[in-house]
Structures are given as structure tokens and as C-alpha cells.
A and B are shown apart, each in its own frame.
Chain A
Amino acid sequence: MRITWYEMKKALTSPIVLILFVAFLGFNGFQILSQSHAKEEINAVNDLIATYGRTITDESLSKLLNDLNEDAEQLGGQDGAESFLNELTYERYEAFSQTEKEQVDRLELFYTYYIKGRDVEERYKGIHMDELRSEFLVSVKESSRFEKFMSQEFTNWEERYEEIVATEEYKEWFFLGEYKMHSEMYRSLLKNAALQSVILIVLMTALVTNYEVEQRTQLLLYTTQKGRFLMRNKFAASLLLATLTFFMLLIPSFILYFTIYDFSEVWQTVVSSGLNWEYKLPYITWWELEVWQFFLLAIAVEWGVVILIAVLGFFLSLWIKNTYFTWILSMAVLIGLFLLPSVFNAYPALQFVTLLNVTTLLLNPHMYFSGGITLTRVQYFEVWSLLIGFAVATILSILSYRRFMKKDVV
């Protein structure tokens, strides 16, 4: 354990690693802050949930409308909130005092929520599953068995959609889809932190693994009693470093994120909420996941990906024995894996198999656990990708470790 720690220190005490850490954190912080101009507006959903409850029901909607109408009356609107807002002109708005303006803004915002909440049922039930199915299956019609499999997946997803509709799971308040909070949180922040850790992890793994060769101490070290078993410590150090790096980048970024955006009431909302509708489709998740569950699971999956990439770096280090080339080749392998599926555009079954690689998971945390009309949205996609990744990583590591144990030390 002590040796593992010393191996880790070789990477951690390198000043450039610390500088990169600070630079990455600064970049994340800058990105969060530069997006945060509407934070008060966004956070208002917490008041909404606190007052009217998490679920959107007819009673809570009519209560909300009543309150809005009263507010409008206080501001001088005689016929309720809707006509008040419709008749609101720029001149009239400017005539209000500062506090009144804030009230008007709030009224307008809550009225938007009211409209979205009122219409969510119609909108959600208006998803045409049949159209989506044909759109989805157009790309996979080639091989019959594969089509059967994908068709079955789609049927399962359709059932899940029907279940959501039947249990009214989607009727929960969430940030308006226009704010793109789900994308912001996962596609921007989590993905960036994961990418940044990949850059650092491969560098650290290569440094630790190749250290003896680079420092010309391998002849001395590998002939001691501890000898080549040192590589086990180096492997453990790589994995620990990967974990440490990932969370060191993630935790400060998300602390800043959650101090700016208030999630206190939203944590228990389901991700499949009908308001969480950013693009063509809402996030129709395979399971009923609340925001905090999705958050923790997404981090766990990215953590697995990051560990796998550390193993990749370790594997390449054992063969190349040169930190510089190891780093470049690791990045090249990752880019290659990312590009690989596009080679098989004509063979959907092969394309599906090649999509089950770590880069798909690395780059798309916002699409985890959700069904949809692309090949990557099947159920358990994350589990499969990780399992395949771990199988490949284990085999490669064992092979190269055994080779390392036997080969000439020089």
C-alpha cells in the first residue's frame, strides 16, 4: 500500500499536473458562470414545487391559476393573468415600480409553467410511437435477426412509454425544457469533466508505468526482490489516480453548479418528467429514475469509463514504454474507437456492435438510461458497453502483464 502511494505521488507532485487541474477547473467554472445569467428564473421552479407539490394535478393547476389570477389583480389586471399578460405592453411594464416589475416577471414565468403543466398531457400523449418506430427501423432493415432484436427493443420501449402515460409518471414539475438543464448538467459539465480526466489520466498512467524506463532505473529496480511485482502497485496506482482525478475534477465543478442552481426540490422529480423536453423527444427513461438517482448513476457510469481508459493507457504503456508516444497513441485509439462505427453505416448490426465502446458512453452522459430512435438507446446499453469494455481490458492487461513478467529487462 505504501509503495502504491509513492507511485501515485510521482504523478501527483508533478507541477504541470496541478497546473492542468487548475486550468480545467477554471474552465469548468467559467463555463458554468457564463451560462448562469438566468439562474434566478431557473431556480424559481423550487418555489413552485414547494407551494403546489411535485406532481401536476388538476387541483394543483387550478390552485396555481387562481393564485396567478389574484397576483394579476393586485397588479391591476381585472380579467385574470392571461389577459393581463396579453395586454402588457412595453410602456405599461416600464410604468411599474421595481418590486412590481419583479412581480410581473414572476407572474409571467409561473404562467409559462402553468401553460406547460396544463398542456403536458396533450403534448406527451401526442408522441407518435408508430412514426418513430418506422423512422427507427428504416436504418436497420438489412439483417432480419438484428431487425427483430431492435424491433423487440422498440416494443419494450413503447410499453415503457405507455406505462409512463398510464401511471402519469411524467406529470411532475421540472425546470422548463427551454433552459436545457439536463443537457447543461450532463452533456456539458459531466462530459467535460470526464474528458478532462481522460486527458490527465492517460498522462498519469503513462508516467507511472513508464517511470522506471524513463528514469533508467529499470535495471536496478526490476532485479530487486520486489522486482517486477512493482507493476502491480503501478497498476493499482493508475486506477486510484484515475478515480482521484475524476472526482477531484467533478466535485468542485458540481459544488459550484449546485450553489448557482437550486436543486433542493427538484432532486426527487423524475427525469422522465414531461417538462424535461429539450429536443425532439423528452427523456423517456427505461426505469423510473429520480434526478438524484440519475445523477449518481451517470457519475458511476462515467467513472467506469474513466477507469477503463486508465487500463487502456496502462496496456499501451507496457508495450510502448515511452510516455510521449503512449499518450498520443492512447488519444489516437480513443478517436479511432469514436470513428469506428461510422465505417459500418451500411451494416447496422456491425455498427451496433462497434457502438458498444467506451467513447459512446464517454461523450453522451445526457442520453444514459433513455430509450429513443438511435441504435445506442437500447435497454442496458450502458451495462453492455461497460461489461464488454471490462472484459477486453482484463484480457489485454493480463496478457501484457504476463509478457512483461517474462521479457528481457533491458
Chain B
Amino acid sequence: MQLFWLEFKKIFSWKLLLLLGVVNFLLFNLLLSFHLEHFPNGRPQTDVFAIEQKLIPLYGAEISEEELQEIKSMYEDRVKIADELVANDPEAEELNLANYEDLVAYNDAQEGLSEYFDQLLYGKGEQILWELQGWEGLIENYEFQADSLAAQVAQNTGAQKEYFQNRIDNEVYSFYSDTVTMNFKDYKTNMAIIIWINVAILLSLVYFRDTRAKLVPLQYSSQHGRNVYRTKWWASLAATTTLVVTLVAVYMALYWTNGTASHLQLPLSSFGWYDHWYDMTFLQYMLLSIGLIVLFAFGVAVLSLSLSTIAPNAVVLIGTQILLFFVMIAGVSTYLIRDMILLWNAPLLTPLATSLFVVVIIVLAWLIWKREIKRDFMN
């Protein structure tokens, strides 16, 4: 046990902690800060998000016919402000615009209308006009839902067709936009990459340091013998747990500043732009994502430890890590993290690929252990 703690402390040397600090600072700025600073990104996304935050506590995920009428009347109230704006604007009078409806009639024949609209949209009408676009987007999307689901049924085949048919049959219509979930998907993908890089940096030197110092023969011929190898393994996994838990906590706390708590209890099917194989609440989706990220973080840990055991020199160590991270970033983070249960991927992709990954990891770890316990350490 004493050896375990000593090894644990050795893994978290101050030098490595400093390096991890620098790496996290840089990668946070490179990959994550954008998704915090620019959420919601632009307009009318900002307005859509504000409207959703207002509506969710009132109506929840499912919107009934009455509720839709109420929402529409809320929208009408907002339209009055725009009406006033148009009515009191001398420029609008020149164009014969009496109210908001005239303004958005998109009358191509009328000269100067679209220029005037743009001028308002980026000028004094900025606040209200974008907001109304947000409202209209949400309401129209909801009203045309049955049609667009029917179109999806016609376009698709197999399980995807079934999914859309099911939604029609059960009248599962989505009202809200995917502003929040899209942002979370980007965030969690980049967060996953950062966490994996951290784990690889943390563990790559655990055994390699001893190989390079030619310490292994001394360790294995001591009384504690090859148990050193096992102890280091457990210490490394404990260190990984500590690091991953810390990083997930820090980065999710930073994510919390986006203020998306309002959406946590909504089911995925109530976000209108993307479809998923399984219906769960946004909170459950979040937890599942984090679970998968952590699982792959331990995969990276096992791979790094295995590499650290067998790498004869630093070039092999780094070179293999580059290849590994190419796969992790281009493949795993895109298909298994970002698009985890997305309807447009094969339904079994994530479960199968993840299970395969786990099996490979376990077999690899077992082989490395077996080799290390038996090998002739003088070579």
C-alpha cells in the first residue's frame, strides 16, 4: 500500500502537473472557450434560446393545442411592438407599410422593401425583429411537423422509416430548437479530446521512465519483484480516475455557465432539428455522454500504459500516440461521442464499436500483463 501511494505521488509530480496546467489552458482556449463565449451563437439563435427559457417552465416538452394558442397569443403581443415601430417610422410610411405584416410580406415587386427590412433588422428594429424571427421559426416548425415527418417517412427506409412512423403514430412532435443540444455536442466532443490528451500525457511515462533509466532489472529482482508492475498499474488507474473526475467536474462546471439548466428535463425528441435512436431526457443524454467519455478515457489510459511498457524509446512512444490520437479524434470523438445515438448512423454503431473497443483493451491489457510477468527482463 505504501508503494501504491508513492507511485501515485510520483505520477502526479509537480512538473507533470505544471505541464498539464499549460496543456489544459491552451487546449481550453483552442477548443472549448469558443463554445462558451459564443453561446447562443448569433441571431436569431440568441432569441430562440431566450424564448425557450421562457416557455419551458410554462409548457414543458409537449405542447397541446390550447398551449399552442397561448404561445401564439404571446407571439402576437410581441408583434404589436413591431407594429408600433413600423407605424411610427416615417420611412415606413413612404413605403406604404402600415404594420409588421406589411413589412414581412416579402413583396418582391415593391422597390426598397427588402433594403428597408435589412436596415431595420440591423438598426433600430434589431431587438424585436430578430426575436419575432425566433418565434416564427419555432411556431412554423411545430405547425409543419406532421407534414415534415410524413415526408421523412416517404424518403427513408428500414428502421429510420419506422422511427418517423412511430413519431407520427404517437404524435411526438418537437417544439424546441436544437440550439442547446448542438452546442452541448460540440462542447462534449472537444472536452473528450482534451481529457484523453490529458490522460495520455499523464500515463505515457509511468513505465517508460524506468525503461529509460534501466531500472527494470533492479525492480524485478527485488523482493517485491514484479508486483511493482501491478502496483504501478493500480496507482496509474487511480491517478486516471482522479484526473478524469477533476477535469470532468471543472469542464462541466464551465459548461454550466451557459445556463442551459432549463432544458435538462426535456426529452431529446422535443428538440426539433436532429433525431436520435433512443429517447431520453437531455440530462440523461448528458450523463450518458460523460459516461462514454470516461470509458474511453480509461481505454486511453490502458493503451498508454501498455505502450509505456513496451516502447523501447521515446520516438516509438510519441509516434504511436500520434496514430492513436488520429483514430481517437477523427473516428471515436466524431462518431461515438458527438453522433453517439444520432439517427443517421447505424443504430448498432456505438454499442458495437464501444464493446469492441472495450474487448480489445481488456485483451491487450491481459497480454501485456502476461508478457511482463513472464518475460526475461535482462533483454
Residues in A lying within 8 Å of B, measured CB to CB: 11, 14-17, 19-20, 23, 199, 203-204, 206-207, 210, 214, 216, 322-325, 327-329, 332, 335-336, 338-339, 342
A to B CB contacts below 8 Å, 15 in the list: A11-B315, A16-B320, A17-B315, A20-B319, A203-B318, A203-B319, A204-B315, A323-B315, A324-B208, A324-B317, A328-B23, A332-B22, A338-B30, A339-B26, A339-B29
Closest to A215 in B: B313
Partner of B204, one of A15, A19, A204, A324: A324
**How long is the Cα–Cα vector from A264 to B29 in the complex, in angstroms?**
44
Partner of A335, one of B27, B201, B212, B320: B27
Q: Is the CB of B26 within 8 A of A335?
A: yes
B29 CB contacts on chain A under 8 angstroms: 339, 342
B316 within 8 A of A: yes
**How long is the Cα–Cα vector from A336 to B23 in the complex, in angstroms?**
10
Q: Is the CB of A14 within 8 A of B26?
A: no
B322 CB contacts on chain A under 8 angstroms: 20, 199
User: Number of B residues contacting the other chain (C-beta, 8 Å)?
Assistant: 24
Q: Is the CB of B23 within 8 A of A16?
A: no
Closest to A207 in B: B315
A199 CB contacts on chain B under 8 angstroms: 322
**How long is the Cα–Cα vector from A384 to B361 in the complex, in angstroms?**
50
Given A23-B323, A23-B326, A199-B322, the answer on whether A16 and B22 have CB atoms closer than 8 Å is: no
Q: Is the CB of A16 within 8 A of B30?
A: no
**How long is the Cα–Cα vector from A17 to B22 in the complex, in angstroms?**
27
Closest to B16 in A: A325
**How long is the Cα–Cα vector from A339 to B27 in the complex, in angstroms?**
10
B19 within 8 A of A: yes
Closest to B197 in A: A328
**How long is the Cα–Cα vector from A15 to B319 in the complex, in angstroms?**
10
Q: Is the CB of B19 within 8 A of A328?
A: yes
Given A20-B323, A214-B212, the answer on whether A323 and B318 have CB atoms closer than 8 Å is: yes
Nearest 10 A/B pairs, CB to CB = A16-B319, A323-B314, A335-B26, A16-B316, A324-B314, A207-B315, A14-B315, A327-B318, A339-B29, A20-B319
B340 within 8 A of A: no
Closest to A16 in B: B319
Q: Is the CB of A332 within 8 A of B26?
A: yes
Given A325-B19, A328-B19, the answer on whether A335 and B30 have CB atoms closer than 8 Å is: yes
Residues in B lying within 8 Å of A, measured CB to CB: 19, 22-23, 26-27, 29-30, 201, 204-205, 208, 212, 214, 313-320, 322-323, 326
Partner of A214, one of B23, B313, B320, B323: B313
Query: What distance in Å separates the Cβ of A343 from its nearest Cβ neighbour in chain B?
Result: 9
B319 CB contacts on chain A under 8 angstroms: 14, 16-17, 19-20, 203
Query: What distance in Å separates the Cβ of B6 from its nearest Cβ neighbour in chain A?
Result: 22
Query: What distance in Å separates the Cβ of A271 from its nearest Cβ neighbour in chain B?
Result: 31
Partner of B315, one of A16, A325, A339: A16
B317 CB contacts on chain A under 8 angstroms: 324
Closest to B311 in A: A16
Closest to A324 in B: B314
**How long is the Cα–Cα vector from A15 to B316 in the complex, in angstroms?**
8
Partner of A324, one of B30, B214, B318, B323: B318
**How long is the Cα–Cα vector from A206 to B26 in the complex, in angstroms?**
22
Partner of B316, one of A14, A204, A325, A327: A14
B201 CB contacts on chain A under 8 angstroms: 328
**How long is the Cα–Cα vector from A23 to B313 in the complex, in angstroms?**
20
**How long is the Cα–Cα vector from A203 to B317 in the complex, in angstroms?**
11
Closest to A196 in B: B322
Query: What distance in Å separates the Cβ of A321 from its nearest Cβ neighbour in chain B?
Result: 11
Closest to B212 in A: A214
Closest to A327 in B: B318
A23 CB contacts on chain B under 8 angstroms: 323, 326
B208 CB contacts on chain A under 8 angstroms: 324
B320 CB contacts on chain A under 8 angstroms: 16
B205 CB contacts on chain A under 8 angstroms: 324
Q: Is the CB of A339 within 8 A of B30?
A: yes
B214 CB contacts on chain A under 8 angstroms: 216
**How long is the Cα–Cα vector from A335 to B31 in the complex, in angstroms?**
11
A14 CB contacts on chain B under 8 angstroms: 313, 315-316, 319
Which of the listed residues B27, B313, B323 has the most CB atoms from chain A within 10 Å of its own CB?
B313
B204 CB contacts on chain A under 8 angstroms: 324
A323 CB contacts on chain B under 8 angstroms: 313-315, 318
